[in-house]
């Protein structure tokens, strides 16, 4: 981005996760990590989001919903792959009906599941990034 962001509003979509990643996303909002304190938050509507965050290996039924959520987020916007499955290298990857995770991710947060402290640091680093987002 061309400037330092002070907040990042995120729309999360579960695209076939085992829910391990969701446990760690929930932990981010706990008192231990308190990610709202640094300007991060979840939003219910993609119209209010700066970023799409996907968990899971992108199962067949979730391909179109993820595309629709991405299309509904106003530009500029980010794609975030959270966890090894969304990164295209998780344990479900060879499985029938999966699509290699989130394509063209701007930020990939690795781990199965990612450790919340490390994930929070990557998100904060991304907020300060000068890399142009998707438009």
Q: What is the binding site for ligand SF4 (CB under 6 A)?
A: 17-18, 20-21, 55-56, 83-85, 90-91, 112-113
Q: Residue 31's CB: how many other CB atoms inside 10 A? A: 6
CA distance 28 to 41: 10
Q: Minimum Å distance from CB 58 to ligand SF4?
A: 11
Q: Minimal CB distance to ligand SF4: which residue? A: 20
Q: Which is nearer to ligand SF4, 119 or 133 (CB)?
A: 119
CA distance 72 to 112: 29
Q: Which is nearer to ligand SF4, 27 or 72 (CB)?
A: 27
Q: Which is nearer to ligand SF4, 11 or 110 (CB)?
A: 110
Q: Minimum Å distance from CB 28 to ligand SF4?
A: 14
CA distance 63 to 17: 13
Q: Minimum Å distance from CB 18 to ligand SF4?
A: 3
Between the alpha carbon of residue 11 and those of residues 30, 42, 43, 66, 90, the distances in Å are: 18, 6, 5, 11, 22
Q: Which is nearer to ligand SF4, 47 or 95 (CB)?
A: 95
Q: Minimum Å distance from CB 114 to ligand SF4?
A: 8
Q: In sequence order, which ranges of the chain are alpha helices (DSSP H)?
A: 20-28, 63-72, 116-127
């Amino acid at each position: 981005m061309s400037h330092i962001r002070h907040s990042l509003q995120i729309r999360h979509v579960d695209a076939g996760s085992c829910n391990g990643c969701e446990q760690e996303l929930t932990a981010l909002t706990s008192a231990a990590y308190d990610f709202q304190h640094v300007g991060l938050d979840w939003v219910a509507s993609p119209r209010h989001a700066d970023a799409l965050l996907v968990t899971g290996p992108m199962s067949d039924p979730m391909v179109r919903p993820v595309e629709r959520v991405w299309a509904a987020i106003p530009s500029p916007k980010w794609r975030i792959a959270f966890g090894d499955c969304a990164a295209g290298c998780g344990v479900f990857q060879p499985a029938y009906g999966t699509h290699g995770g989130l394509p063209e991710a701007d930020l990939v947060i690795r781990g199965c599941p990612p450790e919340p402290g490390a994930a929070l640091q990557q998100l904060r680093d991304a907020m300060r990034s000068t890399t142009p987002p998707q438009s």
